[in-house]
Amino acid sequence: MARRKIVAGNWKMNMTPSEAVKLVEELKPLVASDTVDVVYCVPAIDIVPVVEAVKGSNVAVGAENMYFEDKGAYTGEISAPMLVDAGVKYVILGHSERRDYFKEDDVLLNKKVKKAFEAGLTPILCCGESLEQREMGVTIDWIRLQIKSDLVGITAEQVASMVIAYEPIWAIGTGKTATTEQAQEVCKGIRECIAEMYDAATAESVRIQYGGSVNGANAAELFAQPDIDGGLVGGASLKADFGKIVNY
């Protein structure tokens, strides 16, 4: 069965609650789609108003991060049950900005992936290489290590339902998109890794996004690749261009 495409916006640390509601209203007619899953991953403070603002539309709401404990003395953190109760369906885990600036490692991310599934959230698990790693020729080895570590103890059924986002770090927010061939090659490599770790059916089901300077002009070619099932979109998700990406 063909995999359904999924296009997710990663708003990062942008949009106050009132700006967020305005953006949702502006994008509403542009992102309508019967064929593509559309997700807005928004800052924690925007979750409640955005869940309200997307009601009755085709858009689901995601978080950009969460902690792996349910509750307790973790000042400043937000838990999976809190997200679920607020109406969140997806959560981005392991974005390169969190791995880099906030020192999130694969041991921590594995705990977060487990907790997301336990709570009923769909993880959008990010992986990707730096420019140095690409130039050293270790891209796929690095990504396989990330995937294998982050998915320890995760079942085939869970993996089949999740989303993996391949995001070369050098392409994020730089305007430098990976070539279609580079993006397809790594997304195929991720699928092969899942087939080895689990089985062919799981690999066929898991949705793999490409992320890194996706825009209205390059989305169609990227999404036409056999192993690319949509995109994780940063900068362009805050503009009308996001509608062009959804309706590529």
- Scanning 18-26, 99-107, 220-228, 231-239 for contacts with ligand PEP by CB under 6 A, the matching segment is 231-239
Q: Is 211 in the site for ligand PEP (CB under 6 A)?
A: yes
Among residues 100, 91, 93, the alpha carbon closest in space to that of 42 is found at 91
- Active-site residue list: 95, 167
Contact between 90 and 8 under an 8 Å Cβ cutoff? The reply is yes
Shortest gap between Cβ of 141 and ligand PEP (angstroms)?
Answer: 22
Q: Which of 43, 230, 235, 243 contacts ligand PEP by CB under 6 A? A: 235
Backbone angle region of 30, left / alpha / beta, with phi > 0 → left and psi within -120 to 50 → alpha = alpha
Q: Give the CA distances from residue 243 to residues 63, 64, 110, 169, 233, in Å, rounded to whole numbers and listed in that order.
A: 20, 20, 33, 24, 11
Out of 60, 66, 186, 232, name the contact with ligand PEP by CB under 6 A: 232
What residues between 139 and 168 interact with ligand PEP by CB under 6 A? 167
Residue 174 tokens read as 């730089």
62 binds ligand PEP (CB under 6 A): no
Considering the rule CB under 6 A, would residue 102 count as an interface residue with ligand PEP?
no
CB closer to ligand PEP out of 106 and 241: 241
Nearest-approach distance from CB 228 to ligand PEP, in angstroms: 13
One-letter identity of residue 147: I
Q: Which is nearer to ligand PEP, 120 or 173 (CB)?
A: 173
Q: Helix (H, G, I), strand (E, B), or coil: what is residue 137?
A: coil
Chain centroid to Cα 171, Å, comes to 15
Contact set with ligand PEP (CB under 6 A): 10, 167, 172-173, 211-214, 232-236
